[in-house]
């Protein structure tokens, strides 16, 4: 008799290996809402990552790359962030906020304007031909001042994140009566990255040194749940509007999220402006179906019976 056992008088044979012991599925809790975080690392090495996450990695993380279609240098900046449990109802969440930069100017659609940034981390758009002279459009001259430099793609969002995390004030603010007040010491509002070219070689020392200035600082971020086509879910962060730790009114964040979604951004991510909490998918209530038919969710009864209204 051969190793394979004949199953029938036919020619079908079957062979099995020894198999392996079954293991339980590991389900990690996911969270949604406004969370309070510390930044604990930026673009960690393999050894640093293993210490942070408590597990071994197969290779060194790669943060720099070259875009195949254009040959443009790119860099990913991974800020490893961790919740402050006593500010998040005891929730402990370790995740990351990533920024993607390209070593190219940020232009408008018809490439007639370029985005620029001044010493205070303020950004605006100027004509491509105006950069050489430092000219400022009249409509923004009331609040924007030079000198300025061109930004690279992604720099505006990165700068805004760092300003909020380091709690750097704006150089001026407007009172309810419309009066504009400028800081007594305007240098306190300076916030511009000057060594961005180094980032594309993997050298992010400039940002790491900035983080060390305020290691205990906190930042609030809108945490969401991203669901991809295969049904898998991941933590996501709304990077367009980081929130100062002192802010308690999240209406502007809510408006920014709705605006982003209206423009087809974050289309697969669900957000909440409630305090950070565990994300729970509500259970579906099923009802009995006619014999031979699968159970139907109660909410779908109308379509099951061929109409929009529930049967009487």
d(CA 120, CA 183) in angstroms, rounded, equals 12
pLDDT at 309: 39
Domain assignment of residue 55, given as a range? 31-106+151-278
My answer on whether 239 and 271 are in the same domain is yes
Indicate the pTM of the whole model: 0.80
Provide the token pair at 46. 């393999």
Q: Are residues 90 and 224 in the same domain?
A: yes
Same domain, 227 and 298: no
Q: How much of the chain exceeds pLDDT 90, in percent?
A: 74
Task: Tell me, yes or no, whether 37 and 182 share the same domain.
Answer: yes
Q: Which residue has the tokens 């159970």?
A: 295
Q: Is residue 177 very low, low, confident or very high in pLDDT (cuts 50, 70, 90)? A: confident
Q: Provide, rounded to the nearest whole percent, the portion of the chain with pLDDT above 70.
A: 82
Q: Is position 131 within any domain? A: no
E-assigned strands of 3-93? Answer: 5-6, 13-14, 31-42, 64-66, 73-83
User: How many residues belong to the chain?
Assistant: 312
pLDDT at 64 over 90: yes
Q: Tell me, yes or no, whether 296 and 264 share the same domain.
A: no
Cα 197 to chain center, whole Å? 23
Segment holding 227, helix H or strand E = strand 219-227
Q: Exposure of 84 by Cβ count < 10 A (0-12 exposed, 13-18 middle, 19+ buried)?
A: middle
Asked whether residue 286 falls in the same domain as residue 270, the answer is no
Is the residue at 134 inside a domain?
Answer: no
Q: Whole-angstrom Cα distance, residue 213 to residue 207?
A: 10
66 and 195 belong to one structural domain: yes
Q: Which of 127, 74, 125, 126 is nearest to 101 (CA)?
A: 74
Residues 80 and 192 in one domain: yes
Cβ-based neighbours of 34, under 8 Å, separated by 6 or more: 220, 221, 222, 223, 243, 250, 253, 272, 273, 274, 275, 276
Q: Is the same domain home to 173 and 308?
A: no
> Is 239 a residue whose pLDDT tops 90?
yes
> Does residue 66 belong to any structural domain of this protein?
yes
Give per-residue pLDDT as tens, 16-50: 666 677 666 556 799 999 999 999 999 999 999 99
Q: Give the DSSP H or E segment for 256.
A: helix 251-262
Q: Are residues 189 and 306 in the same domain?
A: no
- Residue whose token pair is 């943060």: 63
- Residue 101 falls inside a structural domain: yes
Per-residue pLDDT, 19? 67
217 occurs within a structural domain = yes
Q: How confident is the model at residue 219 (pLDDT cuts 50, 70, 90)?
A: very high
110-164 tens-digit pLDDT? 999 999 999 999 999 999 999 999 999 999 998 899 999 999 999 999 999 999 9
């Amino acid at each position: 008799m051969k190793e394979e056992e004949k199953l029938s008088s036919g020619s079908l044979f079957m062979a099995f290996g020894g198999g392996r012991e079954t293991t339980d599925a590991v389900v990690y809790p996911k969270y949604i809402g406004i969370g309070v975080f510390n930044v604990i690392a930026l673009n960690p090495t393999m050894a640093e990552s293993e210490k942070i996450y408590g597990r071994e990695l197969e290779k060194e993380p790669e943060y720099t790359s070259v875009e195949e279609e254009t040959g443009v240098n790119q860099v990913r900046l991974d800020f490893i962030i961790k919740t402050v449990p006593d500010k998040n109802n005891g929730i402990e969440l370790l995740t990351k906020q990533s920024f993607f930069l390209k070593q190219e100017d940020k232009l408008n659609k018809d490439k007639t304007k370029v985005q620029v940034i001044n010493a205070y981390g303020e950004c605006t758009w100027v004509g491509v031909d105006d950069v050489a002279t430092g000219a400022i459009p009249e409509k923004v001259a009331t609040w924007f001042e030079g000198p300025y430099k061109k930004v690279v793609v992604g720099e505006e969002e990165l700068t805004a994140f760092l300003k909020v995390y380091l709690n750097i004030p704006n150089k001026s603010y407007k009172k309810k009566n419309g009066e504009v007040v400028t800081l007594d010491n305007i240098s306190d509002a300076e916030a511009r990255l000057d060594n961005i070219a180094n980032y594309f070689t993997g050298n992010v020392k400039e940002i790491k040194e900035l983080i060390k200035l305020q290691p205990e600082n906190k930042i609030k971020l809108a945490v969401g749940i991203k669901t991809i086509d295969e049904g898998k879910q991941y933590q996501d962060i709304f990077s367009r509007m980081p929130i100062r730790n002192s802010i308690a009114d999240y209406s502007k964040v809510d408006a920014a999220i709705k605006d982003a979604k209206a423009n087809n951004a974050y289309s697969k991510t669900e957000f909440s402006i409630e305090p950070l909490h565990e994300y729970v998918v509500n259970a579906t209530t099923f009802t009995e179906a006619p014999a031979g038919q699968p159970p139907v969710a109660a909410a779908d009864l109308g379509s099951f019976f061929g109409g929009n209204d529930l049967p009487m």
